[in-house]
Amino acid sequence: MPFRLKRVIFFTKGAVPHEAHRYYQERKCKSSKNMSELKNLQPADVFYYFDKICSIPHGSFHTKAISDYCVNVAKENGLRYIQDTSNNVIIFKNGTKGYENSAPVIIQGHLDMVCEKNSDCSIDFEKDGLTLIVEDDIVRADGTTLGADDGIAVAYALAILTSDTIEHPPLEVILTSEEEVGLLGATTLDTSEIRGRIMLNLDSEEEGSFLVGCAGGIRMDCITPMNRMTDMAVRYNVSITGLTGGHSGAEIDKWRANSNQLAGRLLYALDNQCEFWIADIKGGLKDNAIPVQTDMVLYVTSRDCETFEETIRTVESELKHEYSVTDPNLTITFKRGPEEISHMLDTRSSGMVIFLLMNYPGGIQRMSSSIPGLVETSLNLGILYLNEKELHCSFSLRSSVGSSKEALIDKLVFLTEFTGGRCEFSGDYPAWEYREDSPLRDQAVALYREMYGKDCSVNAIHAGLECGIFSNKLPGLDCISYGPDIIDIHTPRERMHISSVKRVYEFTLELLKRLK
């Protein structure tokens, strides 16, 4: 059931179009130098709003402030809006002169960002804005994700909504919450007041590529009970670090290492050589991000310390060779501590952790037989942690074929229940199926060729997009997804090309102009 809407409607124009909410103008946070970095970039209105968005903390499950900011922009410009209890926002704008009776066009993006940072970065994502850096044609954040996925879509939308010169049909701008953690906002959104059946989803990261289909997916939490004991042994802190990581949908085909899966291989190798017990293990922050670090606390019998250390060195050498191309900075470190009495997993539970990490599938499971080069089915063990009584493994599963997704779910359920555990599910979303007849796609492809003198590509993607949910909620929806060049999303290396932002914005304005 959708959440009840709390609705406020404004019909009179308030403050000037580009007057931001005073609260955010007066924020004292690490983003205070952002405006000096972005103020000369073009298009100016787009980067004005992108700067404001980056100054407001807006990680997943912390989207109230950014949602309120978008509502405030609507208020200041006399635009009707809907804000629901999930922090989704819909903003309506009438068509400009000559477009009053045109069919409405939906512009859609999401409000939340993936919050990842370097280990030496002190930012608090719940309190601090981002520190932006401009280098030649690149915008990036200092030590963190940039959130251009999907802050740039929000900036595009607000720039269009607040302009008095852009020609366009009636607009229905849908800005959703919690997209990065299972498309949750789009799932709960009440679309009963949406009239448009043409949608521009601005949540893609490769200029010149129009997406017309995506995989469905689900988050799956596998929880297995563990037993502990108290004994005397030598403590070791072991870490797998330096991995490349990335988006578990868009970059799963790059075969990058998953630190949680590598932890299983390391533990299995150690189990074959010496006697040890697991006290703690944790890795990854998001189910849909390929984890880059896994940390373990292990206890080893004093007689096996030398063998333990040598085995780690051997496994590190083997893994560095295997992943020399995709993860050249892969490192396994260990630090020996004292011999002490500790509360550790007993032998059976330690073995159960190893069994599960070695047998849970990971990565690409099947490639598409109908679309060359497209991943059909995959999964990612994105979050792994051990508490006092349970092992938690959180997976992001994706597939463009429903039965294949269900078969993969069955496999995880079987393994987990076989070891006495249970499975919980959330964020189930449908695939966005390719539409043979798409006037919007055909018009966009022709316009791109006309504007830039070259052909674009039309693709499906293995990552999840909200287009699938909206296609189910809005029968007959004709939709494309596109965006500017954004590299290494969901990692602190994320960066966005300034010139590409400009070109995609100009393309969008021309497309709106022609959708009369």
Q: Which residues are catalytic?
A: 112, 179
Whole-number Å distance between alpha carbons of 425 and 423: 7
Residue 201: closest CA among 179, 184, 182: 179
Whole-number Å distance between alpha carbons of 329 and 348: 34
The H or E element containing residue 319 is helix 305-322
Contact 134, 199 (CB under 8 A): no
Tokens of 500: 């590409």
CA atoms within 13 A on the CB side of 277: 23
Question: To which residue do tokens 């229940």 refer?
Answer: 417
Q: 3-state SS of 38-89?
A: HCCCCCHHHHHHHHHHHCCCCECCCCHHHHHHHHHHHHHCCCCEEEECCCCE
Whole-number Å distance between alpha carbons of 291 and 282: 10
Burial 124-144 (b: 16+ CB within 10 A, else e): ebeebbbbbbbeeeebbbbbb
Tokens of 148: 């251009």
What residue type is assigned to position 109 of the chain? G
- Among left, alpha and beta (phi > 0; psi -120 to 50; other), residue 127 is alpha
Residue 86: closest CA among 110, 115, 104, 108: 110
Contact 502, 212 (CB under 8 A): no
Rounded to 10°, the helix 439-452/498-514 angle is: 130
Whole-number Å distance between alpha carbons of 512 and 516: 8
Contact 266, 298 (CB under 8 A): no
Residue 174: closest CA among 166, 165, 182, 183: 183
Burial 296-307 (b: 16+ CB within 10 A, else e): bbbbbbeebbeb
